[in-house]
Each structure stands twice: as C-alpha cells, then as structure tokens.
Amino acid sequence: MKKFLTLLFTCFTLAAFSQQETASLAISNDSKLTISKYIYGQFAEHLGHGIYGGFWVDKSLPVEKQDRIRLDVVNALKKIKIPSLRWPGGCFADEYHWRDGIGPREQRPKMVNTNWGGTTEDNSFGTHEFLELCTLLGTEPYFAANVGSGTVEEMSKWIEYVNSNSTSTIAELRKQNGHPDPYKVTFWGIGNESWGCGGNMTPEFYSDEFKRYASFAKNYPGAPLKKIASGPNSDDYNWTEVIMKNIPEWDMWGISLHYYTVPTGDWGHKGSATKFTEAEYFETMVKCLKMEELVTKHAAIMDKYDPKKHVALVVDEWGVWTDVEPGTNPGFLYQQNSMRDALIAATNLNIFNNHCDRVRGAALAQTINVLQSLILTDKEKMLLTPTYHIFDMYKVHQDAKYLPMQLTAPDYVSGDRKIPAVNVSASQDAAGKVHISLVNLDPTKNISISTGLKDIKWKTVTGQILTSKNITDINTFDQPNKISLQSFKGAKKDGDNLVVVLPAKSVVTLELF
C-alpha cells in the first residue's frame, strides 16, 4: 500500500510539472520601425571588480592581454556584438575628473572611491584605456560627464580632448598622449542620476543645468553629439514632465531612465541571488514586469512634448539588484547570476524591443562582476552567465525591422495574484529572416503556442533554447556550462502556422526563413 501511495504521489507530481497550456500569437509584417542596436548596450563603472580585475587586470595575471586589457573578456563580448559601452559611471561619474586619468600612469593622482567601498582609485584606467577597450570591442563609447562635482569647462574640455583635430592646447595634449587622431565620441550623458548621487537636484534645477552644460558641449567635425539628459528614477513621472517641458527637444538626443528589479522591493534587504523560493521568484517577476508600465507611462509624457518621437528613451541602467554574495565587500555589488536572471533579462529586452518607437538605447548594469553581469571572473578564471547567453540569443534583433504582434496567453498564478506567463518580441533582418524570441516565466508549465504570420513567407524553422532544471541554477567556475545555449526542436510548421511548445522557465529564439 505504501509503495502504491508513493507511486500515485509521484504520478500526480509529474503530471503537475508536465501541465501544458495553450496560447495564440499573430505576427504582422506591417511596420516601418527598427529595433535599435543600442538597446543592447552595456555599462561599466569604476565599482568593485568591474574595471579593475574585470576589464583591466594586473600585468602578472596569466591571461592573454593587450596592455592590461583582458582579451578573453573582449572576445566574449565581441561575439555578442555589444553596440555601446557606458563609462565611467554611475555614481562614480559625478566624482570623476578626467584629467586625473590621462598622461603617464605613474604620475596620475590617486583618489578614494567614496561611492563604492572607499577603495583607492589609481586612475590607471582612464580615457585612453577606455577608448582602446572600445576599439578592441568594436563598440561605441558612451561617456557620462561629471555635472555633480565638475564644471562646464571641465566637460567642454573633455569633449574637445577626445573629438577635436585642431591645434588647440587640449587637442595637442591628446596627441602628445599617444593618439594623433580624434576619437569622435558621440554619446555623452550630461550627468548621472542628478536626482540622487549626481547632485540631489530638483528637476527644475537640473533642466537649467542641462541647458547650461549642453550649450558648451560642442560638435567637432565627424562627431555630432548625442546628448542624453539625466532622466527619472523609476516612476518619478514629474521628473520626466519637467525635463521634457523645459528642455527643447533639439537640445537632447535622449533622456535616461533607471530602474532595477529588486526581488523584495526592500533596498535594505534585497534578497539572495541564488537562494529563493518560488513565491519569491514570482514576486521578483512582478517587479521585473513593472518595466512595461514605466516605459509606457514615461513615453506617454514624452509624446505630449515630442509627438514625432525625436527624443529617445534610454534605459541606461537596468537589471536585477540582489544582496551581495556572502563574504564579499558590500560596496562591490558582486552577485551571482541564475536562470531567474536570464528570464528577467529576456523579458526586459522584449519590452524594449516592443517599445522601439521610443526606447532607442539601454545599458545593462553591469558588464563584469557587478550586479547582473554578463561575465564573472576570478583571477585567471572566467565564466559566462545565463544573462550573457540571452544577449547572445537576442543579438539577431539588433537594427532589424520590428514586427508587431498580438498575443493571447495564459497567466502564471501564485495564490490570488497573476502575471502574464509569456512575453514575446519579433523582428526581420536585412536578409529577410524572421526571429521570434519567446519567454515562459511559469516555472512548472509548458505552453503550446500557435502562431500566424501575416504576409510573411517562410519554409523552415530552427531555434535555440536557454533553460535549466531549477530557476535557482547558476554557472560556477567549477561548472561554467551548467546553463548554456542548446538547439531547440520544439517548433514546427503546421500549414501556414508555426506551432511551438515552449518549455517551462525557458527562453527560446526561433529563426524562420
């Protein structure tokens, strides 16, 4: 009898975990929008081991390097085609003075990084080193200028230093420091989080400061500036209202938005990156999906003042922010990266893709060893996180034609609460191939999706999947490939329709051609 009850319980458990629900999806070819590649940008701040020990390593470390730039990291990021890299912060940007980071390294002044751990910053990684890194990566630099503790002249001279080919003293200094030609850096953030660590300003005061700084942010030949205003914190809609009202649309290329998925919603105790229940997982996904609301509401305010959508919404800090890993420096923001984080990354990218009319830039926080990283390092060891693999899957959407859709899907239910179980985005590349990225947030139920593709001709479908046994699974230096991309066989052509069985807690990208 006991064996029978055990068998019966096992059968019921397996049945519960193999439940399959249905969804329908209709994708149209009726669009003139493009998914900007800059949505897939990254962020590297002078914080913890993001720069030092991440990109920029000790001369004695036994890894391949150019100068002190770590090349296995460079090669991994080149593979996913990161389009832009934001630097030097973050909060660090508004205490950074660029002249400290040029010239002979042994003569550069040292400073204390008061924002992140009180460590000594030796300024060995400065403007030239960052721009050399960007050259190796084949990516565009995105500078965050110091408005909080800097001056208009300081920012203006920095732009001149990197962009001017004149015979001015500043341009000649760049040439003396080893780079005869101008770098032609076009992306410039005018301050960072000016409502907080960047100066605790009101939106009225900041908008005036932006106009003052932007007046002296000059264009040089071949480098028309894309000036990005320091935008709102999360749901501060008044900040967006004031900025859009007070700053002429032609003065700014974009306005930033910062929002982090904090699992508990409590900044004092954010929750573990690796040890969480399904109830805590559900709560985290509720927080993640708030990005849809934020983008929609901020975009609606921008539409009032900029109906032709000249100004981009740039979500240049986003990602999961948990408690640090036990035993690590709290100021270094080092956290592990689980299957949950991969689902969050894919969901956010789908939101950005589907709002590509307004969202034309973003930056995951952060690239290496900090917050929701793509890469983790430990001395000579390096691993790719589940989040890295999402960016690898999604690179097909960069600068591709956006394909609008209508989705009807089941909910993921927890107690008396529910969220959409599925989210999707789709695009068509220059070769005519259609790519569909699907996310199933439900950790236990497979979902069968029938998809109609209006005015889209295709014959075959291939795909990749990222999933794992548990939502808490991670890659470690002992098991670096526990979560990795696999070939996906769960999609087929059924007449004119596409039928996909989307496994629980998975991300799938399909290619139709």
Q: pLDDT tens for residues 309-361? A: 999 999 999 999 999 999 999 999 999 999 999 999 999 999 999 999 999 99
Catalytic residue among 140, 193, 209, 283: 193
Mean pLDDT computed over 69-79: 98
Bin 455: left if φ > 0, else alpha if -120 < ψ < 50, else beta: left
Domains: count for the chain? 2
From 349, 373, 400, the end of a domain falls on 400
Mean pLDDT computed over 128-150: 98
Using a CB cutoff of 8 Å and minimum separation of 24, what contacts does 474-479 make? 474/274, 474/336, 474/337, 474/338, 474/339, 474/385, 474/386, 475/337, 475/376, 475/383, 475/384, 475/385, 475/386, 476/383, 477/376, 477/378, 477/381, 477/383
Nearest to 331 by CA among 36, 106, 49, 125: 49
Domain co-membership, 427 together with 362: no
Any domain includes 461 = yes
CA distances from 231 to 46, 193, 273, 293 (A): 21, 7, 28, 16
pLDDT in tens, 377-395: 999 999 999 999 999 999 9
CATH number of the domain bearing residue 135: 3.20.20.80
Domain co-membership, 385 together with 434: no
Which phi and psi angles does 151 have, rounded to 5°? -130, 165
Is residue 406 predicted with pLDDT exceeding 60? yes
Any domain includes 5 = no
**Residue 15 vs residue 123, higher pLDDT:** 123
Question: Is 317 tagged catalytic?
Answer: yes
Any domain includes 243 = yes
Domain co-membership, 244 together with 299: yes
Domain co-membership, 204 together with 315: yes
d(Cα 31, Cα 28) in Å, to the nearest integer? Answer: 8
Is residue 304 predicted with pLDDT exceeding 60? yes
Any domain includes 62 = yes
Is residue 178 predicted with pLDDT exceeding 70? yes
Any domain includes 11 = no
From 369, 400, 431, the end of a domain falls on 400
pLDDT for res 11: 39
Any domain includes 221 = yes
Any domain includes 50 = yes
Confidence of residue 152 (pLDDT cuts 50, 70, 90): very high
pLDDT for res 60: 96
Domain co-membership, 372 together with 466: no
Nearest to 316 by CA among 155, 79, 85, 33: 85
pLDDT for res 112: 95
Structural domain span for residue 105: 34-400
Domain co-membership, 206 together with 271: yes
Is residue 13 predicted with pLDDT exceeding 70? no
The single residue listed with the structure tokens 């204390």 is 112
pLDDT for res 454: 87
pLDDT for res 20: 79
User: Residue 360 in contact with residue 38, Cβ under 8 Å?
Assistant: yes
Mean pLDDT computed over 162-186: 97
pLDDT for res 509: 98
From 400, 420, 437, the end of a domain falls on 400
Domain co-membership, 428 together with 474: yes
pLDDT for res 10: 38
pLDDT in tens, 200-256: 999 999 999 999 999 999 999 999 999 999 999 999 999 999 999 999 989 999 999
User: Residue 504 in contact with residue 459, Cβ under 8 Å?
Assistant: no
Average pLDDT, the chain: 95
Domain co-membership, 354 together with 480: no
Catalytic residue among 21, 129, 160, 317: 317
The single residue listed with the structure tokens 């029938």 is 450
Is residue 483 predicted with pLDDT exceeding 50? yes
Domain co-membership, 350 together with 439: no
CATH number of the domain bearing residue 428: 2.60.40.1180
Is residue 19 predicted with pLDDT exceeding 80? no
Confidence of residue 457 (pLDDT cuts 50, 70, 90): very high
Mean pLDDT computed over 87-104: 97
Domain co-membership, 142 together with 25: no
Domain co-membership, 384 together with 435: no
Model-wide pTM > 0.85? yes
Any domain includes 499 = yes
Question: Is 106 tagged catalytic?
Answer: no
Domain co-membership, 184 together with 51: yes
Nearest to 298 by CA among 248, 235, 343: 235
